[in-house]
Chains A and B, each alone.
Chain A
Amino acid sequence: MLVLAFDTATAAVTVALYEWIPGAGVRPRAAADAVDARRHAEVLTPAIAGVLAEAGAVPADLSAVAVGVGPGPYTGLRVGLMTARALGEALKIPVHGICSLDAIAWASARDEPFVVATDARRKEVYWARYESARVRTTGPAVSPPAEVLAELGVGPGELPVIGEGAALYPAQLGAAADPLPLLPSAAALAELAVTRLSGADGLPLLPPEPLYLRRPDARAPGPRKKVSQG
């Protein structure tokens, strides 16, 4: 079975193609990674076409799609989800959503409690707390970096914080000495998806719905402004 995974919830556009033979394990076939926060839509589909070509596969060979559902800034996140849903619809294959923070946690392979934080822009971070790389206990949520540890009831340095958010706000978050990985990778997404599909313990598979965590910026208009002077 060929599983296509990608994530566009952060500045990264990350794509991976994994071959999974149930009972016999999983192996990477091709991958493409780029960091280009402004051009997700332009980069993603050619990258998918590229990994398929590199593996000598065609879209009809795909058995499933795994997509990062954020949380993430809206426009890039939507590009990934729309692409995943349209591929699933046209190819008639299942589309599994995975929290993008879970992909970072999974790739860290940590055994002790920790926090993942990514850039939510507007001086905030998306974050979640994990018991280990396989178990999320709190979040995902969005907060100013200075409030994350308080919300978890811990002091600075008590919990290692990894991810791009830790690198951006080391003073407020008390970043881990080694806050890697900074961004989600499609390889982690694919492994996580296959782990769950094969029935093993791990982080949950979700419907392909975006985790915006914020309401749209929109306010109902106030009383009509007068155009007349005075």
Chain B
Amino acid sequence: MIRDSEPLVLGIETSCDETGVGVVRGTTLLADAIASSVDEHARFGGVVPEVASRAHLEAMAPTVERALAEAGVAFADVDAIAVTAGPGLAGALLVGVAAAKAYALALGKPLYGVNHLAAHVAVDQLEHGPLPKPCVAMLVSGGHSSLLLVPDVATDVRPLGATVDDAAGEAFDKIARVLGLGFPGGPVIDRMAREGTADAIAFPRGKYDDGTYDFSFSGLKTAVARWVEARERAGEPVPVADVAASFQEAVVDVLTAKALAACRAHGVKDLLVGGGVAANSRLRALAAQRCEAAGVRLRVPRPKLCTDNGAMVAALGAELVASGTVPSELDLPADSALPITTIRL
């Protein structure tokens, strides 16, 4: 049940192309409103920063109104404002940060500029309750591919590894383009792959056995493109479903192998998978299978909470309020390269 003593937090997310506004009370989700500019980017084959920033400015106030209405609360009920301060697209982040500061000033309420990646971790509390301490978190999306050790999402998040080149979601977008499947690539490749055979083509698994928790998807991307081009040059049809399935398998194989290795090495029994690529059905299935075999509990938020949203920012904000973290100042900057070790800027 909802207790009025828990803080009511408004969370704002504008690090990429989604204008997200969420309202939570403690670990209870009250509203999760989203306006996306993804359709405006589709014809460019990727997110155009200036287009995203313009869309955030237009969408912000209506999305906030929608979130408050959905939550059945008024501005005056809000106890704190949380906003993504980074990492992300600089110009896009600034729109959210400017809005959050103005709301905090107008309402006389504390402001928390928070880390987008830590918010991807904290959001799971809205669905599955308090996070085990510690847990390992794997965050995979178009913007990030990170493995984190999370002793406490409000105070202590440690990077274990990250992509050294492309993010996993970026690789999905690029391969979708190679296969002529459009943008964004994640959902369409997931769909196509179900018609194909995952071991039809042996694509390389970058950094599979290198003993680190880092990822690399650029070699895989090039290998897939070369394979497709060779077929095209030879005048042979491209087996799109098999390419999609084999590519997807290479990505999720590396991701899950490294995530489980991290759990093993740190003696951690709980794995959280988040970010937009966590909506991928094969990633969910293989993670579940490997966690089961390793005796690790798997937590994956529902797809709408995996992709960028405002609820995750509000969830982390509520966690920071509960932990007694000092709020941000009104001169809070946006930091497009905010390190994961900085949970509150």
A residues lining the B interface (CB < 8 Å): 39, 41-46, 48-49, 58-59, 74-75, 78-79, 81-87, 89-91, 210, 212, 216-221, 224, 226-228
Partner of B332, one of A42, A49, A82: A42
Interface of B is mostly: helix
Residues of B within 8 A of A86 (CB): 60-61, 64, 98-99, 102-103, 106
Rounded to whole angstroms, the CA-CA distance of A46 and B226 in the bound complex is: 54
Cβ-defined contact, A42 with B333, below 8 A: yes
Q: How far is the CB of B58 from chain A (nearest CB, A)?
A: 9
Q: Chain A residue with minimal CB distance to B42?
A: A220
Rounded to whole angstroms, the CA-CA distance of A227 and B222 in the bound complex is: 7
Residues of B within 8 A of A44 (CB): 98
Rounded to whole angstroms, the CA-CA distance of A129 and B219 in the bound complex is: 56
Q: How far is the CB of A80 from chain B (nearest CB, A)?
A: 8
Which chain B residues (71-114) contact chain A, with CB distance < 8 Å?
75, 90-91, 94-95, 97-99, 101-103, 105-108
Interface residue count on the B side (C-beta < 8 Å):
44
Interface of A is mostly: helix
Cβ-defined contact, B334 with A45, below 8 A: no
A-B contact count (CB 8 A): 119
What 16 new A-B contacts, CB under 8 Å, besides A45-B105, A75-B91? Answer: A44-B98, A58-B108, A78-B53, A78-B54, A78-B94, A82-B99, A86-B60, A86-B61, A86-B98, A86-B102, A90-B103, A217-B48, A218-B48, A220-B44, A224-B177, A227-B222
Q: How far is the CB of A229 from chain B (nearest CB, A)?
A: 9
Cβ-defined contact, B95 with A82, below 8 A: yes
Q: Chain B residue with minimal CB distance to A59?
A: B106
Q: Chain A residue with minimal CB distance to B178?
A: A224
Residues of B within 8 A of A82 (CB): 56-57, 60, 95, 98-99, 102
A-B contact pairs, 8 of them (CB 8 A): A59-B107, A78-B94, A82-B57, A82-B95, A84-B102, A86-B61, A212-B54, A220-B44
